[in-house]
Structure 1
Amino acid sequence: MPALNGLEQEEVTAAPDSNFQRFCAAHGILSVEDFLLHDVYALVALAEREVNSEELKQGINQVLAFIDTQHKPWLNGLELLEDARQNKHLLPTGCQGLDLLLKGGLLEGQLTELVGASSCGKTQICLLAASNVTYKHMSSVVYLDTCNSFSPKRVAYFIGVLNPTLKQVRCGILERIMANILCKSVFDIFELFDTLDQLQTKLRDQARSSDHKVRLLVIDSISSVISPILGGNMAYGILLLEISTHKRRSLMISAGFLLKRIAYEHNLSVLVTNHMVGGNVGSLKPALGESWKGVAHTRLLLSRVNRTNKCSISVLKHPSMARGNSVDFLIPEENF
């Protein structure tokens, strides 16, 4: 999320002035993210103690107005249908099972969530999708790695499967393809917000540049950066002790809506992975709870036969497909 002193670069009618920024800084608020974590009513009460209280309260209202603009506007059914017809296309991932199940690939402009137990192949599908999009579509991929699982050697292998003539890493074509996968390690939700803010700036500028268009955003895994704030993981130190459960969930939902906004406004596909946790009677269920359940447009469950490359993928949620539809498939076996 942007810093308060950077709001003048956003699409807002008026950015908070320097007095308001100094007031916020005095209370540890340096960004919109900090603002969301702060009790707004307490902030207003602090502002009322100041000589320039009216100007400070106006600044608070301006930031709140900016936050409101981050959500999609109301659209009627005709506008949604026209948008679907003209702007949203399927993005093939190169994963036979996934593309077959989704009748062509990931829908651009939407968020797809892939859930599954540890070592079921979620990362492999993400790497295969990144390989396919950069090679076959000559587009860029942004890959946010939250658990050190990105493997450039595996990507090179997948590209070699797509075109056996490119198996040598020294090949100039392969190097250019690999250069179009922009990978960044992200280890907490606050860094995720900062990274997504930087990405939005890049996406706004890409139409004016000669760079390949970003068509796919991968986050592997979204649960690795969100679960710690929901469970009060002390890895965040004293900060989480001051954040209520409600605000932690608000951070999670804000991250989800931001991803959907990026997908919609820039017409790209967003693919995130989520791990499984224990449910009732020893069963497994997707992590992040009921609040996250409705965020993704499409939710898919991945499983695989132990110690093989045989996988199954099924629909948990889809805007136009029945729950339970499934496909069995194989992932290329080398180093799997």
Structure 2
Amino acid sequence: MIATLKAEDQSQLQLVEREAIDDEEDLFEAIDKLISQGINAGDVKKLQDAGIYTCNGLMMHTKKNLTGIKGLSEAKVDKICEAAEKIVNFGYITGSDALLRRQSVIRITTGSQALDELLGGGIETLAITEAFGEFRSGKTQLAHTLCVSTQLPTNMRGGNGKVAYIDTEGTFRPDRIVSIAERFGMDPGAVLDNIIYARAYTYEHQYNLLLGLAAKMSEEPFRLLIVDSVIALFRVDFTGRGELAERQQKLAQMLSRLTKIAEEFNVAVYMTNQVIADPGGGMFISDPKKPAGGHVLAHAATIRLMFRKGKGEQRVCKVFDAPNLPEAEAVFQITPGGIADAKD
């Protein structure tokens, strides 16, 4: 369990200051820099109104999408893209440069040492981590713990940043944040102030909330985006096989947006997922289940974690799929202070 902080250390944790990430300013280039390349300030404002606040984010849009912005012609879009290419290098880089870029990855502690070791240090920035499992398997509890641990300084295996929480199931509980903050020795009021929360009711609302995040993340140091859960509203708003193709297409667009946010602002994206019965799971599996969302969701997630119940308050996390982690399991426990190591 992480040691309680000394009183003098608390001042640096209470509010995450902008100065703390001055050394990371080069992670993204503000869209305002296009003005120095001869782009009209009015056109830059149109891009911002469409939710594009960085040159990196601009390069993640197709020209077809950009011409759909009111007031931007094809000629203007071509000129804007040329200017952005001069500011941001989106071409080839060497493997050595890619390794250097990976050094900007921050791993945020989960509160459990065993779970951190399983994940290679914690929940990664620049990646989407998906946790799926039945109800009461600990997915939302991990989300609440990460809301607090993300605000710890990096020397305490935190992210030294703010948190955005999109809730589609109505399971966010601020009182849980208070008790978890007390466990980490942090001021609950300041911790809650560093979390921005939104309740989504339709898949369109969910997507629009993601579009609005770019403005906030370009101005303040965010380190974590939580979507709990990613699939719930799509399962409600689209019914039957006739709408399945459209559902998967809309889901793919939203997941693409999550990937771009993770890479544009160096944030960790943690999303929870539901499970569905798998009749073809095999006769040797007593209760076959698989994650909802199909292949679209499977390919979008960088790291997939399968959660299941253990004995009592214990839970088991298994690495289901990851590009750099071995397939292994870790046991953790749900406590009043959030996720912690399991006690024998």
Cα displacement string for residues 232-283 of structure 1 (whole angstroms, at most 9, x for unaligned residues):
59xxxxxxx8xx5433211111111110110011001000000111002551
The reply to whether residue 190 of structure 1 matches residue 204 of structure 2 is yes
Q: Secondary structure of 1:300's partner?
A: strand
* Residue 247 of structure 1: aligned partner: 246
CA contact (8 A) 2:166 2:226 kept: yes
Normalising to structure 2: TM-score of the pair?
Answer: 0.67
2:171 to 142, 149, 152: 149
Q: CA deviation at 1:8?
A: 3.9
Partner of 2:227: 219
Root mean square deviation of aligned Cα: 3.4
Identity %: 21
- Residue type matched to 1:91 in 2? I
Q: Tell me, yes or no, if the aligned pair for 1:97 and 1:313 is still in contact at 8 Å.
A: no
* 2:146 paired residue among 129, 142, 151: 129
Q: Which amino acid aligns with 1:318?
A: A
Q: Which moved more, 1:223-232 or 1:175-184?
A: 223-232
Asked if the contact 2:129–2:271 (Cα under 8 Å) also holds between the matched residues in 1, the reply is yes
Listed one character per residue, the Cα deviations across residues 38-64 of structure 1 (whole Å, up to 9, x for unaligned) are xxxxxxxxxxxxxxxxx8xx69x969x
Which residue number in structure 2 is paired with residue 263 of structure 1?
262
Rounded to whole Å, the distance in 2 between the matches of 1:157 and 1:232 is 42
Residue 83 (structure 1) aligns with: 101
Q: Distance in 1 between matches of 2:271 and 2:101?
A: 23
Deviation at 1:205, TM superposition (A): 2.3
Q: Give 1:318's aligned residue.
A: 322
Question: Aligned residue for 2:5?
Answer: none
Q: CA–CA distance in 2 between the matches of 1:8 and 1:140?
A: 25
1:331 maps to 2:334: yes
Match of 1:179 among 189, 193, 196: 193
**Residues 272 and 97 (structure 1 numbering): CA distance in 2 closer, same or farther, change over 3 Å?**
farther
Residues 295-310 of structure 1: pairs in structure 2 closer than 5 A: 295-305=300-310, 308-310=312-314
More displaced stretch, 282-291 vs 112-121: 282-291
- The Cα shift of 1:99 comes to 1.4
Q: Quote the offset at 1:16 in angstroms.
A: 5.6
**Secondary structure of the residue that 1:134 maps to in structure 2?**
coil
Runs (4+) of structure 1 exceeding 6 A deviation are: none
Kindly state the Cα deviation for residue 7 of structure 1 after the two structures are TM-superposed: 4.6
Q: Match for 1:99: what amino acid? A: D
TM-superposed CA distance for 1:303, in Å, is 0.9
Q: Which amino acid aligns with 1:317?
A: D
Mind listing any 5+ residue stretches in structure 1 that lack a counterpart? Answer: 1-5, 22-54, 167-172, 207-212, 234-240
- Residues of 2 paired with 1:144 and 1:76: CA distance? 34
TM-score by length of 1: 0.69
